[in-house]
Each structure stands twice: as structure tokens, then as C-alpha cells.
């Protein structure tokens, strides 16, 4: 996402579209595959058929650049860039045997008391870190809930936003390398962040260290 509305990004994954212009690709089963949405001062690209960053990012970045060109937004100012991941881990065994330690490990990011709270709980946290020409907000929402079939899941919503102190024009952001380097940096930070929450075994199972 490129823009200045961090709240809207959270709902777009599973919620409705309040306005703007949207282009969508729908899978044969009726679920969303890709979406490009332009709403107010924001450009969103959503991929719900994620494979690997090396596969998805070139396509997503091209969509953003193309939208800027089509919209004639060369004189606009870029105030932030946002990268958000939704990772869902589903419990496939008997609910009586539920153990969140199969996914997560206790530590400085995860209070041990959570593992004694059954399969329904929430852990939301966030912080700022300094970055070149601004700061990066890292926000991690972990929700242990039930899906539509009453199956326990643990949902990680990891959200990173580079907030600029001095805004760039799209041309400056893209040709100057900030656009590419910022998303690459946030991708690496997201992988490291997720790795700090989940077990090493789970990280290997989902190929977290694959590009």
C-alpha cells in the first residue's frame, strides 16, 4: 500500500470496500485472488494467492507504478508505504489436545500465561523504530479464535508502515530507489518478526527463510 490511511488497510483483507475504484480477479471458487484499489489518497494492492515474495512483489509493484501513471499522480506526494501480511495456522487435531506451543514459543514477545488460556485469546502490540527519513511502525495482532467451521486458528496480522518525515513525489520515490528498497526492507523485517514469534519447526514447515 502507498498512502496515508493506515486504518483502512486493516479491514481490506476481509471486509467490504467503502468506495474508490477497484479492479479484482476472482478465483473459480468465488474468493478473491488479486485486488487493485484506489481510494482517496491511497493505492492498495492485495494478493490473497500468495506464494513467494520473489513471485508476488514484481507484479504488485508494477500495479502500483502503473496506477500512478494512469492516474496522472506525478505531482502527488508519497507520505508512507505499508506492507501487511495475514498468516493463519489451523488446528487439525482434537480441540481437547489444543496447544498453541505447536505454533508459538513463549518469550519476550509472547507472555507464557497465554498458553494457559485455551484456544481463544488476543495479543496485540506495536512499536516505532527510527528509519531513514522517518520511522517504521511495526504492529503485530495475534488472534486465537475459531473459523467459520468452529476450527481453532491462530491468525497473525503483521503490519509495517514506513512513515516519511519529508514526503517524496512518486518519481522521486521510485527512480530514487526508496520505493523498492523500503518494501524489500519491510519484507525482511516481517520475516524476522514472524520468526521471533513462531517455533523453529513451524518456520521450517512454512519455508519462512525462502526468498
pLDDT at 202: 95
Residue 48 DSSP code:
S
| Cβ neighbour number for residue 17 with a 10 Å cutoff | 15
pLDDT at 109: 87
pLDDT at 18: 56
pLDDT at 149: 92
pLDDT at 5: 52
pLDDT at 6: 47
Spans of the chain, pLDDT less than 50: 6-17
pLDDT at 1: 63
Q: Report CA-CA distances (Å) from 174 to 73, 78, 135, 148, 160.
A: 13, 10, 19, 41, 19
Q: Report CA-CA distances (Å) from 88 to 128, 156, 183.
A: 25, 6, 22
Q: Which residues contact 138 (CB under 8 A, 6 or more apart)?
A: 126, 127, 128, 129, 158, 159, 160, 189, 193
pLDDT at 145: 96
pLDDT at 4: 54
pLDDT at 110: 92
pLDDT at 100: 94
Cα(7)–Cα(11) distance, rounded to whole angstroms?
7
pLDDT at 38: 92
| Cβ neighbour number for residue 172 with a 10 Å cutoff | 14
pLDDT at 162: 97
Residue whose C-alpha cell reads 468506495 in the numeric block: 19
Amino acid at each position: 500500500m502507498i498512502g496515508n490511511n493506515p486504518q483502512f488497510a486493516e479491514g481490506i483483507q476481509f471486509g467490504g470496500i467503502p468506495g474508490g475504484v477497484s479492479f479484482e480477479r476472482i478465483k473459480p471458487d468465488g474468493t478473491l485472488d488479486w485486488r487493485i484499489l484506489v481510494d482517496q489518497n491511497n493505492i492498495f494492492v492485495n494478493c490473497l494467492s500468495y506464494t513467494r515474495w520473489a513471485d508476488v512483489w514484481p507484479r504488485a509493484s508494477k500495479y502500483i507504478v502503473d496506477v500512478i501513471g494512469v492516474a496522472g499522480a506525478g505531482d502527488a506526494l508519497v507520505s508512507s508505504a505499508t506492507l501487511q501480511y495475514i498468516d493463519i495456522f489451523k488446528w487439525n487435531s482434537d480441540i481437547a489436545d489444543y496447544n498453541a506451543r505447536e505454533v508459538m514459543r513463549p518469550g519476550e514477545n509472547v507472555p507464557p500465561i497465554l498458553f494457559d488460556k485455551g484456544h481463544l485469546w488476543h495479543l496485540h502490540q506495536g512499536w516505532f523504530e527510527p528509519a531513514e527519513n522517518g520511522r517504521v511502525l511495526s504492529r503485530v495482532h495475534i488472534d486465537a479464535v475459531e473459523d467459520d467451521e468452529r476450527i481453532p486458528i491462530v491468525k497473525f496480522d503483521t503490519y509495517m508502515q514506513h512513515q516519511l518525515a519529508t514526503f517524496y513525489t512518486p518519481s522521486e520515490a521510485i527512480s530514487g530507489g526508496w520505493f523498492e528498497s523500503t518494501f524489500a526492507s519491510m519484507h525482511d523485517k516481517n520475516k524476522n518478526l514472524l520468526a521471533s514469534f513462531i517455533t523453529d519447526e513451524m518456520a521450517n514447515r512454512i519455508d519462512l527463510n525462502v526468498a
